[in-house]
Amino acid sequence: MTITNVIVVGSGPAGLGVAALLDQSDIDYLVLEKKEIGSSFLKWPKNMEMITPSFPSNAFGQMDLNSICEATSPAFTFRKEHVTGREYAQYLNAVAYYFQINTHLDTEVIQVHRQNESWMLHTSQGPYFCKYLIWAAGEFQNPQIKNILGSQHCVHSSFIKDPEKLEGTSFVVVGGYESGVQIAFDLINTDKKVTLINPYQIDDANTSDPSRVLSPYTYPKYDKLKNSPLYSEVVDRVISVTKKEDAYNLQLEDETVITTEERPICATGFSLVTQPIEEFITYTEDGSPKLHEETDEFFGHKNLYLSGPSVRHGDHIFCFIYKFRQRFGVIVEDILRKEKYEEEVISVLLEKWKANGMYLSDLSCCGDECVC
């Protein structure tokens, strides 16, 4: 049995990043990881790169977009802008090693229970107890194919590690955001035909927020796709998939049927890994976990926090590292205040975190759009 003040579940960027701030106070904390550090990134397709560029701009007060803590930069480590999943996992390992982040590996949290003022975590390595629990289990390990009847006939894009090795000459891809465009691009590059189905026009952008529209990294690929004779695009919604002998039929909302010989590829997104804490989550209308805006605690559950890409407040979507890292400081501040740390100590830490883009409490500034 292990008892500690704070437990962080998950050693991806969201878990390690918040742990790096906890480490700067003298509070007891532990990170629990079901496999190894950065395991989601190790599962990325071989050639997949971060879409957010890295640049070692830290010294001028603008942290590398993919850094999770001060004085670190994947761009500096790898001397490139777009690191692969494997490289990013190496970066996370370097951070954990350098800052001696207290991490228990091969420890899967199976179920979480409330016990008076504590959290009891039933794990693959026995029980753990803590007062504050930070959930940072990520999304990548929970791929979603929602609202498509017969989805068992499809394959989720995240399971395709080597698109160029897929057998077949013609594929249907469902979903036209980052992953869908990326896999369509990879397939076309190996001379396969692709039909991409998406409910709206992909380049119909009325916002500059890359959480809603294709990133500048992926747009040029989409432009190339559109000009390829191997590519076609259908604006519609897939309702169901049926399999008959050697063919798959995709029924669309407008009653068109698209037939393909290969398993349809669904690039239909991911959602937060929730099973061990499901009973503590209330959902908003858009399907995201309802959180207290001031602290990122799950609605109605004191001392249970969410860190990572599923943090959402109204229209503000924190799905990239450079966005969600700004909430690390908000969580740790709340814990330090509850633990009655001296105001002077807290304000020194907050100043440092603000300077490094690790602390954003006033969300009124996040809605600004680029004008040109």
Length of the chain: 372
Residue 11 as a binder of ligand FAD (CB under 6 A): the answer is: yes
Residue 153 as a binder of ligand FAD (CB under 6 A): the answer is: no
Stretch that binds ligand FAD, among 48-56, 169-177, 251-259, 331-339 (CB under 6 A): 48-56
Among 73, 84, 179, 303, binds ligand FAD (CB under 6 A): 179
Residue 33 as a binder of ligand FAD (CB under 6 A): the answer is: yes
Looking up tokens 């993919």, which residue turns up?
66
In degrees, rounded to 5, the angle at the alpha carbon of residue 363 between the alpha carbons of residues 362 and 366 is 130
Alpha-carbon distance 221 to 181, whole Å?
8
Alpha-carbon distance 86 to 94, whole Å?
12
Alpha-carbon distance 2 to 29, whole Å?
11
CB 211 within 8 A of CB 311: no
In the bound state with ligand FAD, the residue whose beta carbon lies nearer, of 8 and 148, is 8
Among 64, 70, 87, 139, binds ligand FAD (CB under 6 A): 139
Residue 186 as a binder of ligand FAD (CB under 6 A): the answer is: no
The amino acid at 355? A
Residue 74 as a binder of ligand FAD (CB under 6 A): the answer is: no
Token output for 235: 């604006």
In the bound state with ligand FAD, the residue whose beta carbon lies nearer, of 11 and 356, is 11
Read out DSSP for 96-150? Answer: HHHTT--EE-S--EEEEEEETTEEEEEETTEEEEEEEEEE---STTSB---S-BT
In the bound state with ligand FAD, the residue whose beta carbon lies nearer, of 145 and 258, is 145
Q: How far is the CB of 34 from ligand FAD (least distance, A)?
A: 4
Stretch that binds ligand FAD, among 47-55, 228-236, 292-300, 354-362 (CB under 6 A): 47-55
- Compose the 51-70 pattern: x for residues touching ligand FAD by CB under 6 A, - for all others: xx------------------
Nearest partner of 12 among 83, 123, 92, 84, judged by Cα: 92
Stretch that binds ligand FAD, among 11-19, 197-205, 284-292, 353-361 (CB under 6 A): 11-19
Read out DSSP for 320-341? Answer: SHHHHGGGHHHHHHHHHHHTT-
Residue 329 as a binder of ligand FAD (CB under 6 A): the answer is: no
CA 170 to each of CA 45, 52, 180, 190: distance values in angstroms, whole numbers, following the listed order: 20, 30, 15, 11
Token output for 255: 């009653």
* Buried/exposed code over 74-84 (b: 16+ C-beta within 10 A; e: otherwise): bbebbeebbbb
Alpha helical stretches, state H, 120-267:
178-189, 219-226
Q: How far is the CB of 232 from ligand FAD (least distance, A)?
A: 24
Stretch that binds ligand FAD, among 19-27, 71-79, 134-142, 195-203 (CB under 6 A): 134-142
Among 6, 7, 14, 75, binds ligand FAD (CB under 6 A): 14
Stretch that binds ligand FAD, among 71-79, 313-321, 341-349, 362-370 (CB under 6 A): 313-321
Residue 90 as a binder of ligand FAD (CB under 6 A): the answer is: no
What Rg do the C-alpha atoms of the chain give, in angstroms?
22
CB 73 within 8 A of CB 54: yes
Residue 358 as a binder of ligand FAD (CB under 6 A): the answer is: no
Stretch that binds ligand FAD, among 147-155, 196-204, 282-290, 314-322 (CB under 6 A): 314-322
Question: Starting at the edge strand that comes first in sequence, how are the strands of the sheet with 238-244 ordered?
Answer: 238-244, 247-252, 257-260
Residue 10 as a binder of ligand FAD (CB under 6 A): the answer is: yes
In the bound state with ligand FAD, the residue whose beta carbon lies nearer, of 150 and 297, is 297
The residue count for binding ligand FAD (CB under 6 A) is: 33
Residue 138 as a binder of ligand FAD (CB under 6 A): the answer is: yes
Q: How far is the CB of 67 from ligand FAD (least distance, A)?
A: 10
Binding site for ligand FAD (CB under 6 A): 9-15, 32-35, 39-40, 50-52, 108-109, 136-141, 179, 270, 273, 276, 308-309, 319-321
